[in-house]
Amino acid sequence: MIPLPRYEQVKRHIMDGIEAGAFTAGDKLPSENELVRELGVSRMTVNRALRELTEEGHILRRAGMGSFVADRRMRGHAADILSIRDELASRSESWSADVMALEKVAASKHVSEEMCCAAGASVFYLSIVHKGDGAPIELEARWVNPDVAPELLAQDFTAQTPTDYLLAVAPLLRAEHVVRAVAPTKKEQRLLEIEAGVPCLEISRRTWTGERVASFARLLYPGDRYELTARFSPVGAPAIP
């Protein structure tokens, strides 16, 4: 039998510990240096093993803190308009938020195209880091039509989510989602507390109230902590519960 590559042996060693219950969700794993000494392999080998386990969703790597056993992934719904607070509540996790920006700005060319307004027109902009049990799970950048939510800048978005507020003041007519995998910037890595090389899931979302675009949002999720599900049924078929 051909022996497993060294990095696969390291992965198997860690997974054996997780599957045996030696490490449970949230537990900190041995450091890279400890694994190097314990297993007699190179730091590069350990780093590759940890990187692949992160990409596979088994562990989380926090900058400056180490590696931890991952809980089940945060699961969202590709076609639903559901606030991150409600998604977290469905997992019995507490929601909190850090508001990075809440202001009036001039729409860039890209934003004006998404918002169907003139370039340079005044729009509201907000940037928020949403957290589940204290860990960053969503980075929200959103541009809002002032005509549909004129009091937006006066809201406390550490007490309610922008999604909940907008659904209350601007009844939703329709929505458009674009989902893709992206490489986060260094700033986004810092805000989401992820290591370099961890991909992110991006949802670009536009919502309409009547014939007007109410908001355009870019929602960014750490790929090692979030997954999307979607359900489809043939026309006329009973809904899936």
Residue-range domain boundaries for the chain = 6-69, 74-229
Judge contact between 146 and 152, C-beta under 8 A: yes
Q: What is the pLDDT of residue 90?
A: 72
CATH code, residues 74-229: 3.40.1410.10
Residue % of the chain over a pLDDT of 90: 49
Residues in CB range of 198: below 8 A, 6 or more apart: 54, 55, 61, 184, 189, 222, 223, 224
Mean pLDDT of 121-148: 95
Q: What is the pLDDT of residue 161?
A: 93
Q: What is the pLDDT of residue 92?
A: 77
Q: What is the pLDDT of residue 238?
A: 45
Q: How far is CA 154 from the centre of its chain?
A: 26
Residue % of the chain over a pLDDT of 70: 85
Residue 50 burial class via C-beta count within 10 angstroms: exposed 0-12, middle 13-18, buried 19 and up: buried
Confidence tier at 175 by pLDDT (50, 70, 90): confident
How many CB atoms are closer than 10 A to CB 40?
9
Instruction: Provide the terminal-to-terminal Cα distance of the chain, rounded to the nearest Å.
Output: 47
Q: What is the pLDDT of residue 81?
A: 64
How many CB atoms are closer than 10 A to CB 156?
10
Q: With CA atoms as reference, report the closest residue to 135 among 31, 229, 224, 19.
A: 224
Q: How far is CA 42 from the centre of its chain?
A: 32
Q: What is the pLDDT of residue 44?
A: 93
Judge contact between 192 and 63, C-beta under 8 A: no
Instruction: Report the DSSP pairing between strands 174-182 and 200-209.
Output: antiparallel
Overall pTM > 0.85: no
Which tens digit of pLDDT belongs to each residue from 183-237? 999 999 999 998 888 889 899 999 988 788 999 999 999 876 665 554 444 434 4
Residue 71 three-state SS: coil
Mean pLDDT is highest, among 4-18, 20-34, 108-122, for: 108-122
- Asked whether this chain's domains 6-69 and 74-229 adopt the same fold, the reply is no
Fold entry, domain 6-69: Arc Repressor Mutant, subunit A (1.10.10)
Question: How far is it, in rounded angstroms, from Cα 12 to Cα 216?
Answer: 44
Which tens digit of pLDDT belongs to each residue from 55-68? 777 787 766 678 88
3-state SS of the chain: helix, strand, coil percent to 5? 25, 35, 40
Which tens digit of pLDDT belongs to each residue from 106-133? 999 999 999 999 999 999 999 999 999 9
